[in-house]
Amino acid sequence: MFYSLQLRGGGSLAAPKPAFTLAEVLVTLGIIGVVSAMTVPTLMQNYQRKSYVTQLHKVYNEMAQAFVQYQNDKNALNLAEAGLTSQASLNNFVADYFKVVQTCENALTPCFIEQTSYRKLTGGSLGSPYTVQTSYVLASGASIRLHYSQSGDRLGYIMADVNGNKGPNILGRDLFTITFYKNGLMDDNGTSAPLSDDERDKLFDTYCSKSTSSDYGCFGKILNDNWEMTY
């Protein structure tokens, strides 16, 4: 207990206020350091994932708007009727409807890194699942390449690296394969769109999250989880 000291003349000197000791300060800083070490990496991962999804959504929206504009300009009911029926028509579509800052004729590089350098979520190499076509870097910084592969209502695939040559260059993080259909919808791989939630989840479990050379399943999982990267 502290007491005030009585001074001559009637005044008093207040007792010193209690303060933290050096040991207490060091213990507190140690606790803060431990908590930070446990939480900061998770916060950074969440931030990075949100950033990738935001960039993916931007590519998706830009592509969707271009598909609509293309159909309107051709006064057509669907993309096939509008003329997207060959690889050459896809290349012309990109050149006419996107702001392209770099074109890689009949090549993935340097618009993309070497496809064998891309990895899966499991850490293994993605392999070489992509047929080489002309690739592009858009003004947004994303790299895209469209491949014509018609089957049922499916017209082809969009390979998109949402941040170009920057890392981490992992399928399901910054690299995605998007399937596009005659009706202008974009979804995961199938013969018609939209796919069901179960179909998308099955593609994710079979391909995206497994050590296979397939590039499917990641985009559908993003759609199922309402544009969140939960995996």
> For the chain, which residues make up each domain, given as ranges?
23-224
So what's the pLDDT on residue 1? 45
Q: Write out the two tokens for 94.
A: 């990109």
- Residue 129: predicted pLDDT: 83
pLDDT of residue 11: 55
> Is residue 150 over pLDDT 50?
yes
Which of 142, 135, 146, 141 lies closest to 109 in space, CA to CA?
135
pLDDT of 127 over the 60 cut: yes
Beta strand residue intervals within 63-209, DSSP E: 100-104, 135-138, 143-151, 154-161, 175-181, 186-187
Contacts of 44-50 with CB under 8 Å at 24 or more apart are: 49/173, 49/229, 50/229
Give the best-scoring range by mean pLDDT among 11-15, 185-189, 208-212: 185-189
Alpha helices in 75-168 (DSSP H): 79-82, 87-97
Q: Is pLDDT above 50 for 2?
A: no
Give the Å distances, CA to CA, from 45 to 3, 126, 162, 173, 214.
54, 22, 17, 11, 25
CA dist., res. 72 & res. 69, Å (int): 5
Q: DSSP of 76-102, one letter per residue?
A: -SSHHHHT--SHHHHHHHHHHHS-EEE
Burial class (CB in 10 A: 0-12, 13-18, 19+), 182: buried
